Amino acid sequence: MRTPVPHRVATTLITLVAPLVILGVAALVAVSWSDQLPDPVAVHWGTDGPDGFGSLASAIVPMLVVGALLAIGSWALAFLAGHASSTRRIAAGSSLGMSALLAVILLGSLDAQRGLTDATQAPGITTTLLVAIVAGLALGALAAVVTPGDGDQPATQPIAADAPRLTLGSTERAAWRRSAFSRTTLVVGIAAVLVVLVLTVVTRVWPLGLLALALAVLLLTMVAFDVSVDERGLVARSLLGWPTLSVPLDEVVEAGVATVHPVKDFGGWGYRLGRGGRTGIVLRGGDALEVRRTGDRVAVITVDDAATGAALLNTLADRARARR
Amino acid sequence: MLLRIDPSSAEPLFEQIGGQVRALVARGELPVGTRLPSARDLAESLDVNLHTVLRAYQELRADGVIELRRGRGAVVASAPDHGPLHEAISALVATTRRLDIPPATAVALLKEALR
């Protein structure tokens, strides 16, 4: 029996309605300015100011279409496969964040052209880009924060009898530890930060430096994780302490070992959403600790010696359930 | 690494923890430079007193098994090659079994000899 996806109303409001309202209002405001804007308006900027021009509609429509498609896609993902709060948060954050970014770029670039008769006189959009990135990040983070969490969902069934176990005396306590590190993420991440830094200096579009900083922080949150299995359940904590993925013992349905192909299963490396709504900490290909948890959620962590971690998690979960 | 302790055992908990880390390092399962969990974290993990883990770590440091570095916590220190020791232990175990000597007797003799 499939558990229904929780918090569908909140998901729809945050991930679909709010972004569409932002995009719609931005489009209406832009249309209301049509008398004050030059025709054509500047719609594209190079390093030396505006270099692409078009009708007001050609500025509004692509923004609306891209924003709406992103919102609808994110909403569909969260509505249909958002069993885990991480899925819903990532969808809500991308959807609302992108709509804010697009709306600010549209309104900022047009606002600077109000009162002009010739769009070639339009000023640069560096400040607009900066404001748009900050607004996008802020609203994205806000959307992720206000998205409701999963709440406690204790399991009612015992762990499957054929799941791997570890022999543990009745008075024994055990803890399993492993550090997982991603060479791919480190190499690709450093390359990306360097490319953006070089671009920033070459183009002198300084807000890009902000993007380099954001990428560097993102890299630090995704490159290394400490994984532990003990009485607290499974906890995978990033180098920076965030993000953290944890599965308490009473929410473990079954732990095992799975083989992960980063690109095929998760579309890349890092803390990711995978096929079938799986939440993954993907640091390399190969063996991974896979935990099926209550509420039709699945957590995957690529870590060495996953078999021992899975066996201990099942064993400790058995014990926790016997204590209840 | 998998650490297991048994509070009902006569062996003190800090020795149980220290002994397992020693064995893991000696067998090469914890290579040089491996970061061990912080004492606080491990104490919570095993549900033991912080001082139990600190004592285990202190003794491991005294014996040169780990280094305690400020900011980085406990790190496995470089150690001499244990290969010949493993061979000697295998020989010892084989001889003990061949002569049908109880393990406790063999361990007692070994402890005495190392003293």
Within a domain: residue B70?
yes
* Confidence (pLDDT) at B2: 94
Q: Which of B1, B4, B8 lies at the smallest CB-CB distance from A177?
A: B1
Average pLDDT, chain A: 92
Q: Give yes or no: residues B24 and B50 share one domain.
A: yes
Using alpha carbons only, give the angle B58, B61, B66 rounded to the nearest 5 degrees: 125
Domain count of the fold of chain B: 2
Interface with B, mutate which of A173, A246, A249 (most B CBs under 10 A): A173
> Does B20 score more than 70 pLDDT?
yes
- Whole-prediction pTM: 0.83
Q: Give yes or no: residues B24 and B49 share one domain.
A: yes
Q: Give yes or no: residues B87 and B71 share one domain.
A: no
B35 has a chain A CB within 8 A of its CB: yes
Alpha helices, H only, B3-102? 13-26, 39-46, 50-62, 83-98
Within a domain: residue B5?
no
Using alpha carbons only, give the angle B74, B19, A311 rounded to the nearest 5 degrees: 85
Q: Give yes or no: residues B20 and B64 share one domain.
A: yes
Q: pLDDT band at A303, cuts 50/70/90?
A: very high
Q: Give yes or no: residues B61 and B92 share one domain.
A: no
Q: Give yes or no: residues B88 and B56 share one domain.
A: no
Q: pLDDT band at A203, cuts 50/70/90?
A: confident
Q: Give yes or no: residues B35 and B64 share one domain.
A: yes
Q: What percent of chain A has pLDDT over 90?
A: 76
End-to-end CA distance of chain A: 24
CB A281 within 8 A of CB A302: yes
CB within 8 Å: B3 and A308: no
Task: Return d(Cα A170, Cα A178) in angstroms, integer.
Answer: 24
* Confidence (pLDDT) at B97: 93
Q: Give yes or no: residues B66 and B98 share one domain.
A: no
Within a domain: residue B20?
yes
> Does A318 score more than 90 pLDDT?
yes
3-state secondary structure of A172: coil
Within a domain: residue B95?
yes
A57 has a chain B CB within 8 A of its CB: no
pLDDT in tens, B67-100: 988 777 889 987 777 778 888 999 999 999 999 9
Contacts of B4 in chain A (CB under 8 A): 168, 172-175
pLDDT in tens, A143-202: 999 999 998 889 989 999 999 999 999 999 999 999 999 998 999 999 999 999 999 898
| Stretch A259-273: mean pLDDT | 92
Q: Give yes or no: residues B36 and B61 share one domain.
A: yes
| Stretch B9-34: mean pLDDT | 92
Q: pLDDT band at B5, cuts 50/70/90?
A: very high
* Confidence (pLDDT) at B71: 72
Average pLDDT, chain B: 90
For residue B41, give its domain range.
Answer: 13-76
CA nearest A172 in B: which residue?
A: B6
A226 has a chain B CB within 8 A of its CB: yes
Contacts (Cβ under 8 Å, ≥6 apart) of A68: A20, A23
> Does A47 score more than 90 pLDDT?
no
Q: Give yes or no: residues B32 and B87 share one domain.
A: no
CA nearest neighbour of A278 among A286, B31, A309, A262: A262
Within a domain: residue B51?
yes
Q: Give yes or no: residues B35 and B68 share one domain.
A: yes
- Provide the ipTM: 0.75
* Confidence (pLDDT) at B26: 85
CA nearest B2 in A: which residue?
A: A176
